[in-house]
Amino acid sequence: MTMITRGCWIVVVDGAGAVILENAGTVATPDLRLIDRIETPRCDTPPEPGDGNRPAEASDRARLAETAMVAMLMTRLSFAVRQSRTSRLAIAAPPHLLEAIRTRLDHNLRSRVAIMLPKTLTQHPLDKIVSVMAEAMERAA
């Protein structure tokens, strides 16, 4: 059965960044602790007067910034797994970011992922994140 065990890292991602949490409690009474926060690089280039292509360029820059954040996140997770800081991952992200994460999972990380949930949970309180992830893991089991 898949559960949020002690030491399980819960990774919650959205366009603004990622939060890595660890369950320092038990399965019955999870206690999430902040491990790391990774922010999406800012792309605040002011538009030039009379340039009609700026909205598309701004959209491209935002997408590239999200891609850079996902790359930083995957590097951070790979490093943690190599150091045996965690053996289990649960990831929640919007579908487009979840796909970017999937494409960057190496074999070592992929084997540690218990669930990948296509959902934005970054603005939820910690107890809600735990309940949503635990419920999704129960359904997946």
In 62-131, which ranges are E strands? 89-93, 113-118
The sign of the torsion formed by the CA atoms of 56, 95, 35, 32 equals: positive
Instruction: Tell me the pLDDT tens digit for each residue of 61-88.
Output: 888 999 999 999 999 999 999 998 988 9
Q: Which residue has the tokens 């999937």?
A: 102
Q: Say if residue 11's pLDDT is above 90.
A: yes
Q: Which residue has the tokens 């935002």?
A: 62
Instruction: Tell me the pLDDT tens digit for each residue of 108-141.
Output: 999 999 999 999 998 899 889 999 998 998 888 6
CB 33 within 8 Å of CB 129: no
Predicted model pTM: 0.86
Backbone angles phi, psi at 22, to 5 degrees: -120, 140
- In Å, what is the CA distance from 41 to each residue of 33, 36, 64, 69, 72? 24, 16, 9, 7, 10
Domain 9-44+54-140: CATH superfamily, name plus number: eRF1 domain 2 (3.30.420.60)
Structure tokens given for 24: 């320092």
What residues does each domain of the chain span? 9-44+54-140
Q: Please report which confidence band the pLDDT of residue 50 belongs to, taking 50, 70 and 90 as the band edges.
A: low
